[in-house]
Amino acid sequence: MRRLTYLEAVNEALDEALGQDKRVFLMGEDIGIYGGGFGATKGLEEKYGAERVRSTPISESAIVGLAVGASMTGMKPVVELQFSDFITIAMDQLVNQAAKIHYMSNGQFQVPLVVRTPGGSGTGAGAQHSQSLENWLAHIPGLKVIQPATAYDAKGLLHAAISDNNPVVIYEHKLCYPLEAEVPEGRYTVPIGQADIKRSGEDITVVATGIMVIRALEAAEKLANQGVSVEVVDPRTLFPLDKKSILQSVKKTKRVLLVTEAVLRSSFASELSAVIAESDVFYELKQPIERLGGKEVPIPCAKNLESLAVPKVQEIEAKISHMLFKNDKEQTIEKPR
């Protein structure tokens, strides 16, 4: 099968959606001739025209507000916010309007809106262009939140999001854009709310999101040379969350490490920890749930400092090794009667 980069897969999905459904149109800053901040819409204005690939002024609130209104009339807007940090400016439209209109209108209106936005650190873009705020949106009833880590998932989930009649926010990690994977030709969908076992293992489960999926897989490969079998689970969507697949994996390995790039405090790893702790699987764990996440600092601009602010492959590897070989607290938790 052919291989595409993550960015090429996103571009192809947008191309296919525009070609197959005249209700689909794109909006965002510099997405026309320039092709978007990272090139995800390159060549699409030339192919479909400026009416359907609309470059907009720098006003995230206006962009998303316009898209909410358009979606209520039956259109299918796909918005690109140049950096996910800027979603904070569009929060009123997303949180107070898009997420609630279906409920408040008693189902008379739907909001089939997709917001794509690059997030995360690793490019030296500084504190206002490198955050991981996906958990803010995952907290809001009425919004679906997707975080694909591979090119295959990025294309399939984008098609699924455009087909959905609810507002969907897609966080695309910038460091994933150049990564290649096998991607089928033509339209296909990856179900929203279905996790993926990226690597099967027996000794410990690592649940990771975004670029941390890639780093967890690298750590698992290194540990395999030492005879350690790591299972890597990628939720792919934060909400709806595939709790069943995650709990089945943890039940099998009886140890779990949760890895996120976001600041650990109040992160999605905290939510995952609660999901496991509130399940019967908790009583089968051989040691406490462990988390690994970003430091409680704004992301530095200097790359040497930036790399210290978020988990690296070596840290994931070291954490797993510590849990498996140096933890003297290993015991099965007794379920109260």
Instruction: List the catalytic residues.
Output: 129
Where b means 16+ CB within 10 Å and e means fewer, 50-89 reads: eebbbbbeeebeebbbbbbebbbeebbbbbbbbbbbbbeb
Give yes or no for a contact between 257 and 291, defined as CB atoms under 8 angstroms apart. Answer: yes
Give yes or no for a contact between 251 and 320, defined as CB atoms under 8 angstroms apart. Answer: no
CB atoms within 10 A of CB 264: 18
